[in-house]
Amino acid sequence: MAFEDVFPEALKLALDNVRRIPTYGERGASRLVYNLLKLQPEERKLVVQALTEASEKLRPCQECYLLTDRDVCAICSDSRRSKKFLCVVEESQDAYSIERLERYRGVYHILQGRIAPLEGVSPQDLTIDRLLDRIEKNNVKEVIIATNPNAEGEATANYLMKLLKDRFPSVKVSRVSYGLQFGSLLEFVDELSLEKSFENRK
């Protein structure tokens, strides 16, 4: 009997389709599917229903591209928030991480990625045109660049900084600072962060 006759079609389809998900290759798909199938039918149902609902209901905010369950997200819709402060992040989870602080009262802009030449991601692949539109239309006062603290995040931050200073000279452009992260040990901190922690000392 050939392998194809023995391997359940539903299992093959699950594995093949999960591989459509970015970052999920053969191993990732295998781990997800087989582990999901370790659950009892009732729990399996809860999981797939939640995933189905999420994939049906969630989409990018028409204003800022934040993943949301409505056309315009709760943040952009909130009149108590100031559209004059715009925090630029790479992905939705970054914005939601900042929101957990319940400190920031401005709005966000999700780039949907970051500049990464080695991966073939250039500025045109991000939502930068829309960002420039919004800065103009909303008379934004300050743009806080909160891309990730790594090589690509820095490249993206530098690109945006130049672009914004050139396009909107009167707009304040800031970048979140580097320093020591709580829970790390001075002995094992990278040089850049250590230097910055001294530079930015108070």
Contact yes or no for 58/47 (Cβ under 8 A):
no
Q: Which stretch binds a copy of itself (CB under 8 A): 75-83, 141-149, 176-184, 186-194?
A: 75-83
Tokens 């931050």 belong to which residue?
Answer: 157
For residues 172 and 144, what is the distance between their CA atoms, to the nearest angstrom? 8
Q: Report how far apart, in Å, the C-alpha atoms of 25 and of each of 16, 19, 32, 198 are.
A: 9, 5, 11, 42
Phi, psi of 106 (to 5 degrees): -95, -160
Contact mark string toward a copy of itself, 82..111, x via CB under 8 A: ---------xxx--x--xx-x---------
Contact pattern from residue 2 through residue 41 relative to a copy of itself, giving x for each residue in contact according to CB under 8 A and a dash for the rest = xx-xxxxxxx-xx-xxx-xxxxx-----xxxxxxxxxx-x
| Contact call for residue 151 and a copy of itself (CB under 8 A) | no
Nearer to a copy of itself, 76 or 164 (CB): 76
Task: Tell the smallest beta-carbon distance from residue 201 to a copy of itself (Å).
Answer: 31
Give the strands of the sheet with 172-175, arranged side by side.
106-110, 82-89, 142-145, 172-175
71/60 Cα distance (integer angstroms): 8
Q: Which range in 67-75, 135-143, 183-191, 192-200 contacts a copy of itself by CB under 8 A?
A: 67-75
Binding residues for a copy of itself, rule: CB under 8 A, are 1-3, 5-11, 13-14, 16-18, 20-24, 30-39, 41, 43-59, 67-69, 73-75, 78, 80-81, 91-93, 96, 99-100, 102
